[in-house]
């Protein structure tokens, strides 16, 4: 709890003056003002976070949290629970989508077993930080104790702090956990009050029958647990998951150390909801990479007040969208530093109206 409290207390507002300076420079580049849209927004946000737009990012780290979910007993996923540890092995040997896209982005990939239900071997790049071997079934009672939720948040903070201390200047988050679109939907429902049937999606591709089981499990979980939306730790513990908590911890640690954090799809969006309910100021340090096909994601981003960089019809998770987002951040940095200004290029400015 001490680490969590210290981290929350360290989150400070963005540097508004640096953002105004960055905006003036962006408006002086050889293009109509604002015409590079989100690339400009990213550059301005980086200036607010770092005090200036960095020339390059020396190290980028993608943190992938893996955890399991007792609620799979309700039949909410199209895949069996053993896929979670099997995919961790796949990540460790470099063959999953996130491996390809993290390599494409030039990011190191860190795997964290924060709550996988199986015992994993020692693997390259895998940090063993298991809080528990999977959550309890949220449809029948609390998924975690409050202590477990705090411990999982603090694992995320610790891992992010280690990577930041090692020189990482941009963090991405992602997850693996069969069943985890169910707790993510429950978190969104608890904070937003939106009707469960409107925000529940097909995750890994469930059929109509499983979709109904999933809606029922989420409704029952909310009824049995009565998570208090005014108490983010209560929501996280009762209807969340360990990898969701871990990702929320990474966001908070990034915000506390003024390091931007790229979120991914629906599940990392649920983590961002938890993080920003714990510390509203953390929002300024988040970059929303893409809009997932999962129906609750648009509502999640709206609640967060964030706009996604990309719409790619993706719905995988693992942080695949976040890895693509890293390449957009680097594009924004290059635009900011490599474009000529109007005076440098001898290009006339806008006419007076
Ligand atoms: C092979 C495979 C690889 C994945 N990588 C991410 N997910 C994604 O699917 C899961 C969530 O969907 P649901 O709630 O329907 O289980 C998470 O593990 C998520 O990261 C995967 C799912 C599968 C099957
Ligand atoms: O939006 C996501 O990240 C997502 C959606 C479905 C399944 N897994 C992940």
b/e map of 285-308 (b: 16 or more CB within 10 Å)? bbbbbbbbbbebbbbbbebbebeb
Report the distance separating Cα 31 and Cα 347, nearest Å: 10
Instruction: List the one residue out of 340, 111, 156 whose CA is nearest residue 251.
Output: 156
pTM above 0.95, yes or no: yes
Instruction: Say if ligand 1 is within 6 A of residue 83 CB.
Output: yes
Question: Could you read off the pLDDT of 56-82 as tens digits, one per residue?
Answer: 999 999 999 999 999 999 999 999 999
pLDDT recorded at residue 224: 98
pLDDT in tens, 22-35: 999 999 999 999 99
Ligand 2 center to residue 239 CA distance, Å? 17
205 three-class SS: coil
Residue 85 scores a pLDDT above 90: yes
| % residues pLDDT > 90 (the chain) | 99
pLDDT at residue 353 tops 90: no
Residue of minimum CA distance from atom 23 in ligand 1 = 204
Position 140 scores a pLDDT of: 98
* Residue 272 to residue 278: CA distance in whole angstroms: 10
Q: For residue 293, give the nearest of 274, 309, 279, 313 by alpha carbon.
A: 313
Q: How many CA atoms lie within 13 A of 53 on its CB side?
A: 25
Question: In which residue are the tokens 């190191």 written?
Answer: 108
Query: 261-309: per-residue pLDDT in tens?
Result: 999 999 999 999 999 999 999 999 999 999 999 999 999 999 999 999 9
Which of 86, 96, 178 best tests ligand 1's pocket when mutated (most atoms within 8 Å of CB)? Answer: 178
Residue found by looking up tokens 């693992």 in the block: 318
């Amino acid at each position: 709890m001490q680490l969590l409290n210290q981290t929350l207390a360290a989150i400070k507002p963005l540097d508004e003056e640096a953002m105004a300076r960055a905006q003036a420079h962006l408006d002086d580049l050889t293009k109509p003002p604002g015409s590079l849209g989100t690339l400009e927004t990213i550059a301005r946000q980086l200036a607010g976070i770092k005090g200036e737009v960095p020339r390059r990012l020396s190290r980028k780290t993608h943190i992938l949290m893996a955890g399991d979910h007792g609620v799979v007993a309700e039949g909410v996923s199209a895949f069996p629970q053993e896929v979670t540890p099997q995919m961790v092995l796949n990540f460790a040997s470099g063959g999953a989508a996130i491996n390809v896209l993290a390599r494409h982005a030039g990011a190191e990939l860190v795997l964290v077993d924060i709550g996988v239900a199986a015992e994993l071997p020692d693997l390259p790049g895998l940090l063993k930080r298991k809080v528990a071997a999977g959550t309890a079934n949220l449809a029948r009672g609390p998924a975690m104790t409050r202590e477990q939720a705090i411990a999982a948040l603090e694992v995320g903070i610790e891992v992010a702090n280690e990577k930041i201390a090692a020189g990482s200047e941009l963090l991405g988050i992602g997850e693996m956990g069969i069943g985890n679109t169910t707790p993510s939907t429950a978190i969104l429902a608890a904070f937003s009050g939106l009707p469960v049937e409107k925000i529940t999606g097909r995750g890994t591709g469930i059929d109509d029958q499983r979709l109904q089981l999933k809606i029922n499990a989420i409704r029952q979980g909310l009824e049995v647990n009565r998570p208090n939306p005014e108490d983010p730790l209560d929501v996280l513990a009762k209807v969340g998951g360990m990898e969701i908590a871990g990702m929320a911890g990474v966001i908070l640690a990034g915000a506390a150390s003024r390091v931007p954090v790229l979120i991914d799809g629906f599940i990392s969006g649920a983590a961002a909801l938890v993080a920003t309910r714990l510390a509203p100021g953390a929002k300024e340090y988040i970059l929303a990479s893409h809009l997932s096909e999962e129906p609750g994601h648009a509502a999640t981003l709206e609640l967060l007040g964030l706009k996604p960089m990309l719409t790619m019809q993706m719905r995988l998770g693992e942080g695949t969208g976040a890895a693509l987002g890293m390449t957009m951040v680097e594009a924004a940095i290059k635009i900011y530093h490599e474009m000529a200004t109007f005076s440098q290029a001898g290009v006339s400015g806008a006419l007076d109206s």
